[in-house]
């Protein structure tokens, strides 16, 4: 994900993976999303599942469950 907004080769690879998963009827989760620009890039290409430091650093299960309960 790191260079998808600055490197056309990286952007093409990510776009291709997203297109392949759609064609195969599969879901895709983008890992390593760290910036709003990366998130926007992915959303514009119909990728709507993400994880990465933009949302939270890695946390133990209990802390993750607390984060989920706060967002509800």
pLDDT, tens digit, for every residue of 1-34? 789 999 999 999 999 999 999 999 999 999 999 9
For residue 9, the tally of other CB atoms under 10 A from its CB is 9
Alpha-carbon distance 49 to 63, whole Å? Answer: 20
pLDDT digits (tens, 9 = 90+) for 31-47: 999 999 999 999 999 99
Task: Quote the pTM value.
Answer: 0.81
Q: What is the pLDDT of residue 43?
A: 95
Residue 13 corresponds to which tokens in the numbers above?
């690879």
The residues spanned by each domain of the chain are: 8-71
pLDDT tens, residue by residue, 46-68? 999 999 999 889 999 999 898 88
Stretch (H or E) spanning 72:
none
pLDDT of residue 70: 83
**Eight-class DSSP state of 44:** H
Which pLDDT does position 19 carry in this prediction?
Answer: 95
* HSE (side-chain half, CA atoms, 13 Å) at 68: 7
């Amino acid at each position: 994900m790191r260079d998808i907004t600055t490197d056309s080769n990286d952007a093409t690879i990510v776009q291709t993976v997203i297109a392949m998963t759609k064609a195969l009827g599969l879901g895709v989760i983008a890992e390593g999303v760290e910036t709003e620009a990366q998130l926007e890039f992915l959303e514009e290409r119909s990728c709507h599942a993400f994880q990465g430091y933009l949302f939270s650093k890695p946390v133990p299960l209990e802390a993750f469950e607390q984060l989920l309960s706060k967002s509800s």
